[in-house]
Structure 1
Amino acid sequence: MQVDGLGPVPDPTTAVVDSVLTALMAVGRTMRQRVEGDDLEPGVFWLMKNVASRGPLRVTELASCTNLDTSTVSRHVAQLHRAGLLERTPDPDDGRAHRLQLTETGRSRLHDAFERRRTLLRRALGGWEADDVAELDRLLGRFVTDIENVDAELEHA
């Protein structure tokens, strides 16, 4: 058996893993696309969400919690700052450093972007039974926890 022309699949577990990988890539691609009315760059959406949920952060902390390179985060932070979506405040623990937080405009734009994606997901799940939606939520939560644990193990190995 072949999957997407990538060669033979040796066992059923690999076929399931490949199917999950393909599904995750499709969902990720959809969530990264601009939704009608969206003016946020897809690359900054995840950063803004983390700044909003974790409070004022240093660039290095933001890079760490998003698993991105500090130089990449710095470029995005500069873009967000220029756009008036993010502000830098002096770090009370280190006068040489700054902490990042969203401006009111940034919070509003992030909220709007999230709402558009919620609408998309609500429409996709609209024909599902409530029990199926709850089961999907439970399994995705478990999956995220497990994959984060494996990722952390690999980083410390």
Structure 2
Amino acid sequence: MTRAVSGADIVGDAEVATLYHQLTRINRTLRTRGGKSNLTAGVAAALWTIINHAPIRLSELAERESVTAPTMSRIVAALEEQGFVERTPDPDDGRARLLNPTPAGVELIANARTERARVLAAALDRLDDDDRKTVGHGLRLLAEALGTT
């Protein structure tokens, strides 16, 4: 079954596509100019989640990151091999393991955040006060609408 597309749908779709493209460009710029961690965005996001929710089980990490357990298992194995994460026994379940960041993992994310924050701050400094407030307000509203606050 097809539905009729109104002019409002087309404008809305174009606006969404433009906004998505702009967000992608912003993310890419912050990622490429904001430090040389050699981690993909997905791996860095997993490490960030481990740091902020440790100790955490792999299943909970996979759920938080919206990936399958096998995918997360590969990501964690890579982080563990690089010395950014360690597994410890779960005191509540001897068969399970908990993920904890190592000091090197915490430092890696902290440095990446610092560099990305500097890049973002430099861009915001090029805006006048009203535009900075508008950007901040818009991003807060979008984060709330996406349920990421």
Tell whether the structures are fold-level matches, with TM greater than 0.5: yes
Higher mean C-alpha displacement, 98-107 vs 127-136? 127-136
1:34/1:41 contact within 8 Å kept: no
SS at match of 1:128: coil
1:103 matched to which residue of 2?
102
CA pair 34-101 structure 1, distance change in 2 beyond 3 A = farther
CA positional deviation for 1:81: 0.7
Report the aligned-residue RMSD.
2.2
Using CA pairs under 8 Å that are at least 6 residues apart, name the structure with larger relative contact order, 1 or 2.
2
Contact 1:34 1:40 in 2 (8 A): no
Structure 1 contact 59–74 (Cα < 8 Å) conserved: yes
Question: What one-letter code is carried by the residue in structure 1 that aligns with 2:43?
Answer: V
1:77 equivalent to 2:76? Answer yes
**C-alpha displacement of 1:104:** 0.8
3-state SS in 2 of match to 1:87: strand
Contact kept in structure 2, 1:40 and 1:113, CA below 8 Å: no
Residue in 2 that maps onto 1:94: 93
Question: Which whole-Å CA distance do the structure 1 matches of 2:30 and 2:82 have between them?
Answer: 22
Is the contact between residue 85 and residue 106 of structure 1 (CA under 8 Å) also seen in structure 2?
Answer: yes
TM-fit CA distance, 1:21: 1.3
Consecutive unaligned residues in structure 2, runs of 5 or more: 1-6
Contact 2:88-2:98 at 8 Å conserved across structures? yes
Q: Which residue of 2 aligns with 1:136?
A: 135
d(CA) in 2 for partners of 1:66 and 1:31?
Answer: 20
How is 1:2-151 mapped onto 2 (pairs within 5 angstroms)? 11-33=10-32, 35-36=34-35, 38-42=36-40, 43-148=42-147
TM-score when normalising by structure 1: 0.79
Q: What TM-score, normalized by structure 2, do the two folds share?
A: 0.83
Post-superposition offset of 1:9? 8.9
Supply the AA of the counterpart residue of 2:54. G
Aligned-residue sequence identity (percent) comes to: 30
Q: How far is the alpha carbon of 1:24 from its aligned partner? A: 1.6
- State the distance in 1 between where 2:33 and 2:91 align: 37
Q: What do residues 72-107 of structure 1 show as CA deviations (whole Å, max 9, x unaligned)?
A: 211111111111111111112211111111111111
**Structure 1, unaligned runs of 5 or more:** 1-7, 150-157
Aligned residues: 141
What SS does the corresponding residue of 1:11 show, helix, strand or coil?
A: helix
Letter in 1 for 2:26: V
